[in-house]
Amino acid sequence: MLPLQNGAGGGRKTMDKFFESRWFMRIVGLLLAFVLYASVNFDELAVQRSESSNPQSNTETIQNVPVEVFYDSENLFVSGVPETVNLEVEGPKNLVTSAKTLRDFHVYADLNDLGIGDHQVELKIEGISDKLKVKLNPSFANVSIQEKITEEFTVEPEFNEAFLAEGFETESVTVEPKQVEITGAKDVIEQIAYVVATPAVDSGINETLTREARVQVLDRDYNKLDVAIDPETVDVTIEVINPSKEVTVAVNQKGELPDGLELEAITVQPKKVTVFGRDTLLQSINELTAEVDLSDVKKDTTIKVPLTLPEGVNQTTPEEVEVKIDLKEAEKKTVMGNTITLEGAEEDMEYEFIEPESGTVDITVSGFKDQLDTVDSESFSLFANVTGLAPGEHEIEVKAEGPEDIEWELTNNKVTIQIQEKIPA
């Protein structure tokens, strides 16, 4: 048993010495190098086979590729470098498709070696296959490098009152924060004339609201300046009010009452209402009207009437008023015993009333009580013209004069008269 153990131990020692020898390390390194070489050549062969199996060339445009800018951003301000460019890529279809899909490249402008001033800089691309032809659009940029400065400016909120609901007006427009820091080239900062924030709002604003607004930096000609703003947005608060005023209410009558009716009184409740609108409009309003059509009124009544609103008034409190209408009806009265005067009577003739024997006529008067109370027989004059009539019996028309503000008529508008010569004494 001992010889076997000695033999096994000796074999292990021999193998350990072989693994630790230089030749073993050289052989292993050579094998690894061969494997790596075979792998690289296999990849190239695969690409060549792919290209040979798909030999057609293709051209594509890759749009909106961001441009990176390398410069001393702490001390300098750069303008003129486009934010994005378009790439026209030409080459094997599979490589073009891969570039367009993966976008595993970048376009850049290196300004590190340039000093303050204006420069024309070539835009470069990195990380794209050298088997592709690439054309940048634009391929150059006119760059301005300036000393970088930062100043604080007050933001002015802007708001168009045309967005307000009718009758409302702006009480105040405020912005928070009120000031922002603006960083840019020194000569650009010196051009700043306006720092404004205009909120996006819908029309018909009738309550206070707050909206986020982007800050804009403009020169005197309202051109936007290329600067950095911190913060870029602010909150604009628009406070609105609806001014009011108390005014009287008047009733505007239209139409005529039916025959036989007269307006005795018309009253309105409440006598005053509150109107809402812009101050400039309210100054010219002292009264509102409630329009009532009398042609539809046949008895005493109380109706609700909406108020007629001038343009610019958006509301009233209350929105309608009560109009009370009191009517009086026409009455009839008979004025009796109105004497008929004969016109053109001759002294040598005698005149005798046959019909009516009394020589008087009754008059029927229609009107309202306050009118009828003032009417009597003295209010009328009745005439019968007998000028030139020969002796005999005659029917003569009666003419009358009376008040014009009431209706009246004779119960009989003709009389019969007997005319004869007088007998001498």
pLDDT tens digits, residue range 105-121? 999 999 999 999 999 99
Question: In the chain, where are the structural domains located?
Answer: 2-53, 57-148, 155-241, 244-329, 331-421
If you average pLDDT over every residue of the chain, what do you get?
85
Better-scored residue on pLDDT, 199 or 372:
199
What mean pLDDT comes out for the span 199-218?
92
pLDDT tens digits for range 54-77: 457 899 999 999 999 999 988 898
- At a CB cut-off of 8 Å and minimum separation 6, what does 156 contact? 175, 194, 195, 196, 197
- pLDDT computed for residue 6 by the predictor: 42
Q: Domain 57-148, what fold? A: RNA Polymerase Alpha Subunit; Chain A, domain 2 (2.170.120)
Instruction: Output the six-digit token pair for 92.
Output: 């094997």
Better-scored residue on pLDDT, 284 or 142:
142
Instruction: Output the six-digit token pair for 421.
Output: 């010569």
Q: Which residue is listed with tokens 């720092």?
A: 195
First to last CA, the chain: 212
The phi, psi pair for 13, rounded to 5°, reads: -65, -40
Mapped onto helix, strand or coil, the DSSP state of residue 198 is coil
pLDDT tens digits for range 292-339: 888 888 888 888 999 888 888 888 889 899 999 888 877 788 888 888
Instruction: Output the six-digit token pair for 13.
Output: 């020692």
| 3-state SS record for 59-99 | EEEEEEEEEEEECCCCCEEEECCCCEEEEEEEEEHHHHHHH
The β-bridge partners of 236 are 175, 211
- CATH, domain range 331-421: 2.170.120.30
One of 2.170.120.40, 3.30.420.40, 3.40.50.2000, 3.40.50.2300 is the CATH number of 244-329, namely 2.170.120.40
Q: What is the pTM of this model?
A: 0.49
What mean pLDDT comes out for the span 144-168?
91
- pLDDT computed for residue 197 by the predictor: 96
pLDDT tens digits for range 360-410: 899 988 877 777 888 888 889 999 999 989 999 999 999 999 888 788 889
What mean pLDDT comes out for the span 162-184?
91
Neighbours of 278 (CB within 10 A): 19
What mean pLDDT comes out for the span 37-46?
53
Confidence band for 278, pLDDT divided at 50, 70 and 90: confident
| 267 has pLDDT over 80 | yes
What mean pLDDT comes out for the span 169-184?
93
**CATH class of residue range 155-241:** mainly beta
| 231 has pLDDT over 90 | yes
Asked whether this chain's domains 57-148 and 244-329 adopt the same fold, the reply is yes
